[in-house]
C-alpha cells in the first residue's frame, strides 16, 4: 500500500515536471487550447502514455496545446453534468457508451463530419456503440468485454458450449461441496451488463431499436437466463457471496474482464488462471464495454477536436492508448499488428471482441438495465419467478417506459 | 448537553423584577450588526436558500442537467407517487427507509445510552474507552463500508464466527433481502458515538444529590435507573430522537459504499432492492438516469415528510419530555 502511494506520488511529480516542460517549450507559440476530459489514469504508466500522445499531437500541430483534465471515474458523469449545466464545457471528452445516444439525441454532442475516419478501420461492435440512428457521434478509444475465467486446478479444460458449462459446473461442486462450480452473476446493474453476451450466444438480441421492438422476452433471452438459474444449483450463493471467491479458490469459474487479469496475477500468483471465450449455445458472442470519446456542441475548436480523436484512435497510437485505458484497440489494423504483444490470457478477449455486440442505442438504456432488467434477473435467480415470467414482465415494463407499445 | 442549556434560558431572561430592556440599537448599530452577520447571511443565501429554491423550481421541470428545463407542472410529483412504470422502485425506497429508521434509531439510542452508562460508572481509563467508542464516528465512510463487508462475509466473516459460538447458523447478511436492513442498522448503532457523548453529558448533568437521596431511601440500581436516570434524560433523548430520525431518513453514504463493491460497478441497492434507501434512489435518478427534475421532486417530498414527522414528534413527545 505504502509502496503504491509512494509510486503514485513519484509519478505525479514526474508528470508535473513533464507538464511544466511541455508548457515551457510550446507555451509561447500555442494559440489554440483544446480541453480534453478523461477518466483518471489507472496506473502511473498509463499517465505517461497519455502524456506521450499529447506531446506527439502538439508537435504535429503547431500552435495547438491540449489541456487534459483527469477526473475519477466515479465522479465523471456528475462533474460532466454540472459542467454542461453551468456552460463551462470541455471541447472534447470521454463518454460512457450508453450515454452516447442520450447526449446525441438532445444535441449535447456533435455528429462526426463525414470523412473524419474510415469506418472500416474499426471493429464493428465498438463503432456501433457510437452510432445513433445510423449516424456517428463519437469514436471508440478502446473496447472491452467479459470472458470466462477458470481455475486450472479445478477446471482442466474450459467449457465451450452451455452444455459443457453446466456439466463442468456440476462436476466441480460434486467433487467438493465446499467449492462452487462458478460465480453466477447477480441481478444487479453489472450482471445486467454481462447478460446480453449470453443472450447473443443463443442467437438473440436485447432490442431492435429501428423496429422499436423489445426482444429480451424471446426464447434466446429466456434460455440465457434459465442457464444462469441452472448454474446456480451447483454454485451456492453462500460460497460465492464471499469476498473474492474465485481468487480464493472457492469457485471453479467466474465471468470477468481484462482489468481483473493483472490484479489476479499480482495478488494471487499461485492461482492457475485460464481465460477462455464465453461459452455459447448457437454462436460465439459477447457483450461490449469501453470508453468512447465525443465532441461537445457547446465547446469550441470542433475540427481540431475530431482531429485529436482520430489521432488517438489511429493504427499507430490506438494499441498503446487502449492498453493504458485497460481495454483493447478498437482499430482493427492496430489490434492485428499488435496482437502478439497481448499475452495468451488476453487472446480470449481479443477473439471475443470480434463478435461482441453493442447495447441498444436508446437514451434510457442505463435506467432500463438497472431498474427493470437487473431486478428481473434477480427475481428469476432467487426463484421468485420463472425466467419467462420475469422477462415477460420486464419487457412489458420496458415497452411502457419507451412507448414502444405499438 | 445542548438541550438542558436551552431549557434553562427562558427561565433566566423572564426572571421577575428585571427592568424591561430599552431598545439599544440605533441606526449606526443596525449597520454594524448587519455587516457582522453579512457573511453568515451570504453563506445562507448562496449555499442554502438559493439551491433550495432552485431545486423547488426544477422539481416542476423535466431538467436533465444538459438541456433547457421545460415546465411540466406537478407531473414529477404525481408520477413519482402513482406511476409504477416510470418509477418502479419509488415506494420500495420509501419502505426500505422507514424500516431502516424504525430499527436503526432505537438501536442507536439504546446502544448509546448503554455505552454512556458504562462510561459513567468506570473511574479509570474512561478517556481511553470514550475514545475507542467514538472512533467509528470519525472513521472514513469508505473504510467503514469495506470493513463491515468483511465482517459480514458469509464464509469468513467475524459476525458469523461470533454467532456460531452461540449456535446460530451462518447468515449471508448483505445478500439476503430480509437481513440487509438489520445489518445496516447494526452498523449505524456501532457508529453511535455522538449520541453516546451527548447522553454522557446528560448523565453528568444529573445532580449527585438526587442519586444519594435515592440511595438513602433504599432505591436499588434498577429503580434508580427507571425513576431517576430515564426521566432526567428525557430532554436529551428527545433531542437525539428528533435528530436521529432526520439523519436516518437521509441515510446514503454507508449504503452507497456497502453496495457499490468497488470497481466502478453500478449501485442498484442490494439484493432485490432491499437496501435501496430513499436518498440512494434519488441520487440514481439525479446522476445516473439524468432525471434531475424528478430527483428534485423527490427531495421535496422527503423535505415535507421530515417536516411533518418532526412536527409530530414535537407535538406528541415534547410535552412528555418537559
Q: What does the pLDDT look like over B67-120, one tens digit per residue?
A: 889 999 999 999 999 998 899 999 999 999 999 999 999 999 999 999 999 999
**Which of A81, A106, A188 is opposite residue B268, by nearest beta carbon?**
A188
Is residue B70 within 8 angstroms of chain A, CB to CB? Answer: no
A241 contacts B66? CB cut-off 8 A:
no
Q: Per-residue pLDDT for B259 more than 70?
A: yes
**Which of B86, B156, B268 is opposite residue A401, by nearest beta carbon?**
B86
Sort out which chain A residues have CB atoms less than 8 A from B88's CB and list them: 371-372, 375, 397
CB under 8 A, 24+ apart: contacts of A215-220: A216/A373, A216/A391, A216/A394, A216/A395, A216/A398, A217/A388, A217/A391, A217/A392, A217/A394, A217/A395, A217/A396, A220/A281
Q: Is residue B307 part of a domain?
A: yes
Q: Are A176 and A320 in contact (CB under 8 A)?
A: no
Q: What ipTM goes with this model?
A: 0.82
Q: Is residue B7 part of a domain?
A: no
Give the whole-angstrom CA distance, residue A209 versus residue A179. 42
Q: Are A360 and A98 in contact (CB under 8 A)?
A: no
Q: Is residue B69 part of a domain?
A: no
Q: Are A142 and A309 in contact (CB under 8 A)?
A: no
Q: Is residue B26 part of a domain?
A: no
Low-confidence ranges of chain A (pLDDT < 50): 1-3, 5-6, 8-28
The whole-number pLDDT of residue B19 equals 58
Is residue B79 within 8 angstroms of chain A, CB to CB? Answer: no
Sort out which chain A residues have CB atoms less than 8 A from B170's CB and list them: 238
Q: Where are the domains of chain A?
A: 2-143+289-353, 147-287+364-402
The whole-number pLDDT of residue A260 equals 86
pLDDT tier at B21, thresholds 50, 70, 90: low
Q: Which of B33, B36, B142, B95 is nearest to B277 (CA)?
A: B95
Is residue B65 within 8 angstroms of chain A, CB to CB? Answer: yes
- Its CATH class, for the domain covering A147-287+364-402, is alpha beta
**Which of B264, B268, B289 is opposite residue A73, by nearest beta carbon?**
B264
Q: Is residue B60 part of a domain?
A: no
Evaluate whether A2-143+289-353 and A147-287+364-402 have a shared fold: yes
The whole-number pLDDT of residue B67 equals 84
Question: B267 CA to chain A: closest CA distance, Å?
Answer: 7
Question: B303 CA to chain A: closest CA distance, Å?
Answer: 23
Digit-coded pLDDT (tens) for B282-321: 999 998 888 999 999 999 999 999 999 999 999 988 765 4
Digit-coded pLDDT (tens) for B150-175: 999 998 899 999 999 999 998 999 98
Is residue A107 within 8 angstroms of chain B, CB to CB? Answer: yes
Question: A56 CA to chain B: closest CA distance, Å?
Answer: 30
Task: Could you list the beta-strand ranges (E) of A29-117.
Answer: 32-39, 64-71, 92-96
Question: A358 CA to chain B: closest CA distance, Å?
Answer: 18
Digit-coded pLDDT (tens) for A124-142: 999 999 999 999 999 999 9
**Which of A190, A364, A378 is opposite residue B272, by nearest beta carbon?**
A378
A243 contacts B172? CB cut-off 8 A:
no
Is residue B89 within 8 angstroms of chain A, CB to CB? Answer: yes
Q: Domains in chain B: how many in total?
A: 1
Sort out which chain A residues have CB atoms less than 8 A from B288's CB and list them: 77, 366-367, 370
Digit-coded pLDDT (tens) for A141-156: 999 999 999 999 999 9
Domain assignment of residue B247, given as a range: 89-321
CATH number of the domain encompassing residue B150: 1.10.3720.10
Chains A, B: CB pairs < 8 Å = 94
Q: What percentage of chain A exceeds 90 in pLDDT? A: 73
A241, A374, A379, A404: which to substitute to probe chain B, counting the most B Cβ within 10 Å?
A241
Q: Which CATH number fits domain A2-143+289-353: 3.40.50.11030, 3.40.50.300, 3.40.190.10, 3.40.50.10490?
A: 3.40.190.10
Range A52-61 burial, b when 16+ CB lie within 10 A, else e: ebbbebbeeb
Amino acid at each position: 500500500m505504502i509502496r503504491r502511494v509512494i509510486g503514485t506520488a513519484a509519478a505525479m511529480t514526474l508528470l508535473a515536471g513533464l507538464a511544466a516542460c511541455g508548457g515551457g517549450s510550446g507555451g509561447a507559440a500555442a494559440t489554440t487550447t483544446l480541453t480534453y476530459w478523461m477518466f483518471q489514469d489507472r496506473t502511473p504508466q498509463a499517465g505517461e502514455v497519455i502524456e506521450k500522445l499529447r506531446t506527439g499531437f502538439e508537435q504535429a500541430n503547431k500552435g495547438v496545446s491540449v489541456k487534459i483534465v483527469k477526473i475519477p471515474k466515479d465522479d465523471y458523469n456528475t462533474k460532466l453534468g454540472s459542467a454542461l449545466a453551468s456552460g463551462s464545457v470541455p471541447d472534447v471528452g470521454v463518454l460512457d457508451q450508453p450515454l452516447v445516444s442520450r447526449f446525441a439525441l438532445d444535441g449535447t454532442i456533435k455528429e462526426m463530419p463525414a470523412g473524419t475516419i474510415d469506418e472500416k478501420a474499426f471493429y464493428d461492435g465498438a463503432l456501433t456503440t457510437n452510432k445513433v440512428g445510423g449516424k456517428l457521434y463519437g469514436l471508440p478509444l478502446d473496447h472491452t468485454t467479459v470472458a470466462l475465467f477458470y481455475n486450472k486446478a479445478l477446471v482442466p479444460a474450459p467449457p465451450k458450449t452451455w452444455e459443457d458449462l453446466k456439466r463442468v459446473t456440476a462436476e466441480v461442486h460434486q467433487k467438493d461441496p465446499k467449492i462452487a462450480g462458478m460465480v453466477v452473476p447477480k441481478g444487479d446493474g453489472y450482471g445486467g451488463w454481462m447478460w446480453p453476451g449470453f443472450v447473443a450466444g443463443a442467437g438473440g438480441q436485447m432490442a431492435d431499436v429501428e423496429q422499436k421492438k423489445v426482444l429480451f422476452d424471446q426464447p434466446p433471452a429466456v434460455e440465457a437466463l434459465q442457464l444462469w438459474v441452472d448454474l446456480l444449483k451447483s454454485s451456492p450463493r453462500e460460497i460465492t457471496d464471499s469476498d473474492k471467491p474465485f481468487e480464493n479458490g472457492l469457485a471453479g469459474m467466474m465471468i470477468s474482464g481484462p482489468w481483473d487479469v493483472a490484479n489476479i496475477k499480482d495478488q494471487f500468483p499461485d492461482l492457475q488462471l485460464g481465460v477462455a471465450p464465453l461459452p455459447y449455445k448457437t454462436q460465439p458472442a459477447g457483450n461490449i464495454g469501453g470508453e468512447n470519446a465525443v465532441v461537445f456542441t457547446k465547446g469550441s475548436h470542433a475540427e481540431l477536436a475530431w482531429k485529436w480523436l482520430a489521432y488517438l484512435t489511429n493504427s499507430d497510437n490506438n494499441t498503446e492508448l487502449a492498453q493504458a485505458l485497460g481495454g483493447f484497440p478498437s482499430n482493427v489494423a492496430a489490434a492485428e499488428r499488435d496482437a502478439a504483444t497481448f499475452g495468451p490470457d488476453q487472446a480470449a478477449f481479443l477473439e471475443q471482441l470480434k463478435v461482441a455486440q453493442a447495447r441498444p442505442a436508446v437514451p434510457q438504456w442505463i435506467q432500463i438495465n438497472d431498474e427493470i432488467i437487473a431486478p428481473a434477473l434477480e427475481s428469476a435467480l432467487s426463484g421468485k419467478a420463472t425466467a419467462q415470467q420475469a422477462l415477460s414482465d420486464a419487457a412489458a415494463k420496458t415497452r411502457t417506459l419507451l412507448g414502444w407499445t405499438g | 448537553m445542548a438541550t438542558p442549556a436551552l431549557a434553562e434560558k427562558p427561565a433566566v431572561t423572564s426572571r421577575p423584577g428585571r427592568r424591561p430592556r430599552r431598545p439599544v440599537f440605533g441606526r449606526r448599530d443596525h449597520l454594524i450588526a448587519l455587516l457582522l452577520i453579512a457573511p453568515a447571511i451570504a453563506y445562507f443565501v448562496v449555499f442554502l436558500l438559493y439551491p433550495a429554491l432552485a431545486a423547488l423550481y426544477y422539481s416542476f421541470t423535466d431538467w436533465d442537467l444538459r438541456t433547457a428545463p421545460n415546465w411540466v407542472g406537478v407531473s414529477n410529483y404525481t408520477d413519482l407517487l402513482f406511476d409504477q412504470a416510470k418509477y418502479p422502485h419509488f415506494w420500495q425506497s420509501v419502505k426500505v427507509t422507514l424500516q431502516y429508521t424504525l430499527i436503526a434509531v432505537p438501536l442507536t439510542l439504546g446502544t448509546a445510552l448503554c455505552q454512556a452508562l458504562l462510561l459513567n460508572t468506570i473511574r479509570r481509563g474512561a478517556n481511553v474507552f470514550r475514545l475507542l467508542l467514538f472512533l467509528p464516528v470519525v472513521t472514513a465512510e469508505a473504510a467503514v463500508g469495506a470493513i463491515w463487508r468483511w465482517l459480514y462475509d458469509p464464509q469468513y466473516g467475524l459476525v458469523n464466527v461470533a454467532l456460531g459460538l452461540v449456535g446460530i447458523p451462518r447468515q449471508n447478511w448483505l445478500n439476503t433481502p430480509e437481513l440487509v436492513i438489520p445489518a445496516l442498522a447494526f452498523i449505524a448503532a456501532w457508529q453511535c458515538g455522538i449520541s453516546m457523548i451527548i447522553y454522557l453529558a446528560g448523565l453528568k448533568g444529573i445532580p449527585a444529590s438526587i442519586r444519594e437521596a435515592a440511595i438513602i431511601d433504599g432505591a436499588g440500581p434498577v429503580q434508580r435507573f427507571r425513576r431517576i436516570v430515564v426521566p432526567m434524560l428525557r430532554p436529551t433523548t428527545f433531542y437525539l430522537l428528533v435528530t436521529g430520525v432526520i439523519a436516518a431518513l437521509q441515510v446514503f453514504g454507508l449504503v452507497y459504499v456497502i453496495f457499490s463493491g468497488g470497481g466502478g460497478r453500478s449501485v442498484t441497492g442490494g439484493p432485490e432492492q432491499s437496501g435501496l434507501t430513499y436518498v440512494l434512489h434519488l441520487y440514481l435518478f439525479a446522476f445516473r438516469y439524468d432525471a434531475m427534475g424528478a430527483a428534485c421532486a423527490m427531495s421535496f417530498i422527503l423535505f415535507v415528510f421530515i417536516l411533518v414527522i418532526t412536527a409530530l414528534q414535537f407535538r406528541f413527545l415534547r410535552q412528555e419530555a418537559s
